[in-house]
Amino acid sequence: MTCRLKVLGRWRRITIAAPLVLCSMWVVAGPSPQSEPEDSTRRIWNKRFREARDLSVARRPRGTPVNGELIGVTIWRLGDDQDKPMAERATADTSFTEGERLRLSIEAPRGGESYLYVIDREVYADGSAGEPYLIFPSQTTPEGGNVVTAGKPVFVPARGDEYPYFTVERVRKDQLREELTIIVSPNPLNLPLGTPADPIRLESAQVARWEKQWGGRVERREERGGAGKQWTAAEKEADKGERRLVQGDPLPQTIYLIKAKPGAPMMLRVPLRIAP
C-alpha cells in the first residue's frame, strides 16, 4: 500500500506488491534561465550552505552575505524496483506522470534549529485551489522529526512512515499540480496533528495570514546538471539519521532565496506539476 498525494491533503491508499524500503511578491518561484550571472548567484548560495554545514564556521557572526533566507529542496523520483530502492533528483520544473513515487528533502542553512511544516493543496486549470491540509508533521512523526537545520535535511514523508513516499495522482481531470507550502519557523507552531492517512485540514484564512506575514519575493536556482543524479551514501545516511551532511556532501538540487527577515518564519510554495 502507499499514499497518494491529494491536494485535499488526504493521502489515499492503494495496494502494491510490497512497501518500498525507502521508501515578486508572494508567488510560486518561477523558472530562472541559467545564465552566467545566475550561475554566479548559485555559487554564492552554495557557499552559504557549505559554511552553515561547518559548525565551527556557523558560529561566527558573519558568513557569506546573502540578502534573504535560503531553503534547499530536493525532489526525489523513486525507482520502480522495490527490491533495489533507488532515488534520483528532479528539478522544480519537472512534470511528473501519474503513478510516480516521490519524496522531498528540505534543508535550511540557518544557525540553530527551526521547525518544518508542509501544507498540501491541489491547483486546478481555472486557478482555484483545494483546501489546505497539514501533511507534515503528523502524529507518527517522532519527537524532533520536523527539526531542520544546516546539514540535517528533513525527508518528507519520513523514512519511518509506513509508506514513505507520495504517489502522484490527479483527483480531477483539470488538476494541474499539487502545491506544497513549506514553512520554516524558529519556534514550533501550535497546530493539531493528524495521521498520514487523515491529515488535519487547516483554515484557509489562517494560511493566507501566514502567507502575508511570512511570504516574500522568491528567487530560485537549480544545481546545473543535477537532475537525474542518484542519491549518495551520505544522503542515505542523513535520511536514516546516522550522520549530518558536511561541506563536501551534495547540496540541495533547488535552492530558494526568500526575502524574509533573518531568523523570522519563512514560507515557500513548491509546485509538483502533473504531466498532461
Q: How far apart are CA 111 and CA 19, in angstroms?
A: 36
CA nearest neighbour of 104 among 159, 61, 151: 159
Beta-carbon contacts of residue 82 (< 8 Å; ≥ 6 apart): 16, 17, 18, 19, 20, 21
C-alpha cell at 262: 533573518
Alpha carbon 53 to its chain centroid, in Å, reads 18
What is the residue range of 209's domain?
Answer: 2-274
Q: How far apart are CA 98 and CA 209, in angstroms?
A: 32
- pTM, two decimals, is 0.84
CB 11 within 8 A of CB 135: yes
**DSSP 3-state of 12:** strand
In which residue ranges of the chain is pLDDT below 70? 1-38, 56-65, 81-85
The pLDDT tens digits for 175-230 are 999 999 999 999 999 999 999 889 999 999 999 999 999 988 999 999 999 999 99
| Residue where the block lists cell 533507488 | 86
Number of domains in the chain: 1
